[in-house]
Amino acid sequence: MAKPAEEKADNLTIEKDVGQGLPPILDDDSFGNGNRSNGGDSDRPINSAVLAMLLFIGAEVMFFAGIIGAFIVLRFGANDWPPPGQPRLPVVVTGINTAILLLSGLTMFKTKRLLKDWHREKILHGLTITALLGALFLAVQGFEWTRLLGFGFTLSSNIYGTVFYTLIGCHALHVLGAVIWLTIVASRLRMNSPAYSANNHVGIKLSGMYWYLVVALWPVLYGLVYFN
Amino acid sequence: MSEAAAVKDTPIEHAHQGFLKTYIFSTDHKMIAKQFLLLGLVMLMLGGGLVMLLRWQLAYPDKPLPLIGISETYMETGETETAMDRYWDEQFSKPEKEQSWIATRMPAGVISPNFYNTLFTMHATIMIFFVVMPILVGCFGNFLIPLMIGTRDMAFPVLNMLSFWVAVVSGVIILIGFFVPGGHAATGWTAYPPLSADPTWTGVDWGQNLWCFSLIFLGISSMMGSINYITTIINMRAPGMTFMRLPLTIWSLFIVAILLLLALPVLTSALAMLLFDRMAGTSFFNASGGGDPLLWQHLFWFFGHPEVYVLILPAMGIGSEILSVFSRKPIFGYHAMVYAMVSIAGLGWIVWGHHMFQSGMNPALGTTFMISTMVIAVPSAIKTFNWLGTLWGGNIQFTVPMLNALAFVSMFVIGGLSGIYMASTPVDIFIHDTYYIVAHIHYVVFGGSLFGIFAAITFWFPKMFGRMLGSKLGKIHFWITFAAFNCTFFPMHILGVGGHMRRIANPLQYEFLQQFEGLNIFITMSAFTLGMAQLIFIFNVFYSMFKGKKAEDNPWKANTVEWTAATPPPHGNFAEIPTIYHGPYEYNAPGIDEDYLPQTSQATIATDGNGKQ
Amino acid sequence: MLDWLPPSISTVGGEIDKFFYVIYYITTVVFFLVAGTMIYFLIRYRYKEGREVKYTHGNTTLEIIWTVVTLVALIVLALVSKPLWSKIKQELPPSSTVVQVTGKQFNWEILYPGPDGMFGTEDDYQIDNLLHVPVNQVVHIKLKALDVIHSFFVPVLRLKQDALPGREIMMWFEANKPGEYEIPCAELCGFGHSGMLGKLIVHSAEDYDAWVKSTWPEN
């Protein structure tokens, strides 16, 4: 990832825009992408905000690795799985819901492709649809949860309920966060916020990256938790 | 961002930002570094204070503490003799609910068993999470990364500020825990469930919950810091500062940031599960509810082992830096040093099981973990040999930072060698959970990390505060600390060999430990000396901060970029972003008049016939 | 330093101690080599105005040598440790004496199956903190925990094993010297952890028979 930077620095002609620009702290980029001030490396291999987002996603993946690891230990340590007398998890409905979330991943993918040429209206449209699909996913999940809770299947009813609500709940919280983020991005875009422009749309890109995370996590969790 | 426009043309002027922005909610990496340092030093005194109480109990089990305890006369005759006697008399006449904080934890000045458990739990928690991490990673990561790679600040200054303040929130939560009913967490810093998962087993309710919350917040703080460090190091190096020209300190901090970023979320997930077990009635770790107590240990040590390297790697980087500077010689095997650290970062993920040999984990796994553990000892050995190589043929100056760095190397050698005993599974059966382990971790974390911290503070003090740290007091502090440290922790190996369990409040309850009473008293006296000696250091730091001799820009004649900045560096660090022409350790290079060669110097090193420098 | 080891009274204790000694000698030699070299360098190359400094960035051959040597030494150490570990923790030599030990806050609950050799029958004999075993015979311990994690530690047997709630861990030992020994708990188990202490009583063959007779008189 950093390899090209290294080569670049090696071949650098020394006098090139050294010390120009202003301290990154005072740069007007809200994502702290102050690298331009630091020797004219606007052409560095990766945007700082994007890199930071990748790192954050790495941390999130490790968090999920922790709870998925816990699930695996408990699931395969149990004699009966699921324990007898438990309600069946809604495999089909959730399957359809999975399709909805995957579709939102696709719409996000298409939206991000529009960023380069800055079709503002189309981007706004794409973000809105993605957020709505996410919200639909959450609504279906919530509906299924209330049904399960109606059967007396709760977080603390037994280990099956515990891992189900923890894993699926954690993911749902992340989807909720991502939907809120997308909504904020979309409404700022709608209001023509100066934060986003043809030259600077890293904020939209970041929300898209995060959206990919929550979409990509879901099939793994669905496969693990819903199929015994 | 109108402010940005205003100062666009005067990058240095903006140092005047008012008190709040300069000292409290500063986004300047150097101020944040100092804030972390202050946090760490305050917590160091607290963590050290706790262990003084603990050592008293081990040397004189169930005897009243001096000064605050009841007098012998009172014990024997029931007559009040001292002011404290009257105090205790008054306390005992009250119902338990109304007794003072101290009376519920140390009735009559005798440390209660539960409070003893709290003492070692909080000693470890505070020292690891609120002393070593804030100082080595928080303070020196913040201070050194932008200065050493030649940039003006971190990639995300606001995130940086948040990282500090979240750490403060975490620190405040952990302090509140001391004052909640039921007392603070008392299950060891490892908090093994089911003991930690159900308040009925310890009687501790909110203390343990706050402990969990505090560490979750600390995890968030560390994550923000790590993201910042990694991004800054990858993206903001000055022109010419290639990865293989980075000072080893920066390499170590880079690797530490990666470890923290990936390890702490696993702890966070485990803490969340523990909180669910405690507060929502789940049973992740409760066997009767279908859970598994070993699950916690797996998750905890999966985080915990990388964490151990988080504590020692920065000290390794700092040690390398200082050894090279004061040997006036390039570091021996720079590349080997880097690869050693990288391999530690990789191997650190597959050795966690060596904490669990006796835990009931499948013994077949024990062998696997034993082999991976033996392998991870190799990079540390490589580093040690390279440090020796650095000293060989040098011109060694015994400054205060150098003394501390040398102590770091030699103590780390002992800590590393004692680790081999535990890695060997059959021997571990006996020494697991004994004082042998306590000796080992203290040789690594005190002998390694803390001497690293002393070395770092004394080395970079002039750059941080613009004044020299008093070297006479520095030497006094060093020699007392070095002697008292060894007197405190070396005998713990003997206790361990004798089978002395860790975390017991009263060794005299056991027949086979009677013989160690004298040794325990000796350790306690040494520990008191060690604790007192740190007051010298604290005094020296604060005295020199205001009254020390003014420092030059480069008092040690070192090569790395931070020494080319003004002392102390202004907001924005450099008048001009430097350009880098050399590696960080070109001391006494051929063809150079001075015995050092700043990384920013354009002079060229004479090469020999082989084209090698 | 190893004089401080408690006496060993088990068949495997001596073997563990042997490893202890081997590692002790190796690490001591390594330590004195490293520390000696360091002190020699510090004295030999102490600061002198105008001293000629060896300008070198390292030596690849040297790096390879010390990497390979340490790696091989440590791997060999791991491999030779393995058989003993397996013998103690993975194998279970046959035995006619099985005792169930349950850790609970803050006692060891000892349960004998009685003459019928089965747990859960009427002739079970339960007692806190007293573990009677015959000398020179393999004894099986079925280790359990009632509430939190405890650790069954018998220093003289060089034996330690955590007791986990929800699991049964089988382990074995063979004591070869009669006497009374302590069984502390080695894993923090609460405020009474310090002082959680059982007693291992190793009987000679005759004494053990006498104890069995007095405990189950009707047989």
> Can you give the pLDDT at residue B9?
35
Contact A25 B284 (CB under 8 A): no
In a domain, B579, yes or no: no
pLDDT at position B608: 56
In this complex, the residue of A19, A25, A158 whose CB is nearest that of residue B157 is A25
A126 & A183 share domain: yes
**Is residue B407 in some structural domain?**
yes
Residue A101: domain span: 48-226
Cβ contacts of B519 on chain C, cutoff 8 Å: none
Task: Give the per-residue pLDDT at A185.
Answer: 94
> What's the confidence (pLDDT) of residue B611?
43
Number of domains in chain A: 2
B510 and C15 within 8 Å at the Cβ level: the answer is no
Torsion sign (Cα): B267, B269, B275, B278? negative
Count: domains in chain B: 1
Residue A123 lies in a domain: yes
SS3 content of chain C, % helix, strand, coil (to 5): 35, 30, 35
Residue to mutate among B106, B374, B384, B607, with most C CBs inside 10 A, is: B374
Which chain B residues are closer than 8 Å to C2 by Cβ?
497
Tokens of B386: 């390279």
As for the ipTM of the complex, it is 0.95
Chain A contact set for B11 (CB, 8 A): 22-23, 26
Q: Are residues A55 and A153 in the same domain?
A: yes
What gap in Å lies between CA B2 and CA B4, rounded to an integer? 5
Residue B12 lies in a domain: no
Which among B378, B425, B497 has the least Cβ separation from residue C81? B425
CATH number of the structural domain spanning residue A207: 1.20.120.80
* Total Cβ atoms within 10 A of residue C206: 9
B430: preceding bond cis by omega (within 30 degrees):
no
Nearest to C166 among B287, B510, B512 (CB): B287
| pLDDT for residue A71 is more than 80 | yes
B&C contacts, CB < 8 Å: 277
Tell which residue, B438, B379, B451, B373, has the closest CA to residue B409: B451
Q: How many residues does chain B have?
A: 613
CA B271 to the chain's CA centroid? 21
Nearest CA to A185 among A136, A123, A135? A123
Task: Tell me which chain B residues have a C-beta less than 8 angstroms from the C-beta of C15.
Answer: 426
Q: For residue C219, name the pLDDT band (cuts at 50, 70, 90).
A: low
Q: What is the pLDDT of residues B163-217, one digit of tens each?
A: 999 999 999 999 999 999 889 999 999 999 999 999 999 989 999 999 999 999 9
Please give the domain boundaries of chain C with CATH numbers for all domains.
2-90 (1.10.287.90), 97-215 (2.60.40.420)
Same domain, A26 and A67: no
Examine residue A209 and state whether it is found in any structural domain, yes or no. Answer: yes
**Buried-exposed string B313-332: b where 16+ CB fall within 10 A, e elsewhere:** bbbbbbbbbbbbbbbbbbbb
Measured CA to CA, the distance from residue B603 to residue B601 in angstroms comes to: 6
Q: Please report whether residue B323 resides in a domain.
A: yes
**Which residues in chain B show pLDDT less than 70?**
1-17, 608-613
Point out which residues pair with B390 in neighbouring strands: none
* CATH number of the structural domain spanning residue B205: 1.20.210.10
Q: Answer yes or no: do C155 and B358 touch at CB < 8 A.
A: no
Residues in chain C within 8 Å Cβ distance of B287: 164-167
Question: What is the pLDDT at residue A41?
Answer: 42
Domain that holds residue B461: 22-63+110-547
| A106 and A22 in a common domain | no
In Å, how far is C28's CA from the nearest CA of chain B? 9
Q: Give me the residue from B331, B391, B421 closest to C38, CB to CB.
A: B391
User: What DSSP element (H or E) covers C34?
Assistant: helix C13-44
Determine whether the interchain pair B377/C182 forms a contact, defined as Cβ–Cβ distance below 8 Å: no
Distances (CA, A) of B307 to B351, B445, B453: 12, 11, 17
Report the alpha-carbon distance of residue B226 to residue B232 in Å, rounded: 10
B590 domain-assigned? no
Best residue in C74, C90, C154, C189 to probe B by mutation, most B CBs within 10 Å?
C74
Q: Is residue A130 a part of any domain in this protein?
A: yes
Among the partner residues C26, C55, C58, nearest to B333 by beta-carbon distance: C58
Whether residues A212 and A109 share a domain: the answer is yes
Interface of B with A in 133-192 (CB under 8 A): 151-159
Chain C interface test: which of B118, B285, B395, B402 (most C C-beta within 10 Å): B395
Residue B573 lies in a domain: no
Same domain for A116 and A208?
A: yes
Q: Encoding tokens for residue B470?
A: 């008093």
A28 and A91 in a single domain? The answer is no
